[in-house]
Amino acid sequence: MKIGVLNTDKLKPELSLRYGEYPSMFARLLLTVKPDLKLQTYNVVDFQYPKTIDECDAYLITGSKLSVYDEIPWIIELKNFVRKLSTIQKKIVGICFGHQLVAEALGGKTLAADNGWCVGAHKTKLNENAAFYKTPGEEFYLLSNHKDQVSKMAEGATLLASTEACPIAMTSLGDHILTFQGHPEFDKEYAKALLDMRREILGEPVYAAAIKSLEIPTNNSLVSDWIIRFIER
């Protein structure tokens, strides 16, 4: 099985040298579940795309520091590509920016969150639509780092899970799209580095609460398993 990683950001050198770029983070995450998995990176910020859609069995859209509603050429092009993938029901996984972009591309809406930045580890509660993944009502934790969030899901999408700060935290569309607002690819060290970098922007109360939340165990491996199961089904 081969996943095309649609990379939507370039990290600052001091971060990428220590933690790798986002495709490397996803490789570390997913290969622990499926060691024979193949991943191919496409830097869509540089308009790199597969020659044919069938180069990969599924596509994963990473996070980004930008907003999906920015009128930037590469973001517009990525939305067009998502529409093409969805039309033929090619598997798509969206993470953070990817979660938001899928919604925007397919009839939904993403806005700056009224409650500002959502950072740190957050409890996410599954609903009755998420039985394929886990028992409805059960909870899992992922790290978050975002100031935008989906306010309206893609047309025909199903809500699977919510957090207190982010009501639309996990969605699906048919059998071919799965998206998460949280970051299963983030480890605690990288999350802290981002928080330290944005400390002044976040403000001390938000920063301190997020740092404290890093003591909570997260369920990255569980979500990685869900992603693989979703793609393989």
By annotation, the residues acting in catalysis are: 96, 183, 185
Domains of the chain, first to last: 2-232 (3.40.50.880)
Question: Tokens at residue 101, please?
Answer: 């972009």
Q: What is the pLDDT of residues 207-227, one digit of tens each?
A: 999 999 999 999 999 999 999
CA-to-CA dists, residue 63 to 55, 74, 209, angstroms: 22, 14, 22
What pTM was estimated for this model as a whole? 0.95
Cα(113)–Cα(166) distance, rounded to whole angstroms? 9
Residue type, 167: P
Beta strands in the chain (DSSP E): 2-7, 38-43, 58-61, 91-95, 109-112, 118-126, 139-146, 148-152, 158-162, 170-173, 177-180
Describe the strand order of the beta sheet including 91-95 as a list of residue ranges. 38-43, 2-7, 58-61, 91-95, 177-180, 170-173, 158-162, 118-126, 139-146
Tens-binned pLDDT, residue by residue, of the chain (233 aa): 999 999 999 999 999 999 999 999 999 999 999 999 999 999 999 999 999 999 999 999 999 999 999 999 999 999 999 999 999 999 999 999 999 999 999 999 999 998 899 999 999 999 999 988 876 668 999 999 999 999 999 999 999 999 999 999 999 999 999 999 999 999 999 999 999 999 999 999 999 999 999 999 999 999 999 999 999 98
- Nearest to 146, CA basis, from 173, 172, 122: 122
| Burial class of residue 63, CB neighbours in 10 A (0-12, 13-18, 19+) | buried
* Euclidean distance between CA atoms 120 and 108, whole angstroms: 26
Q: What pLDDT is recorded for position 136?
A: 62
177-180 and 91-95 beta bridge pairing: parallel
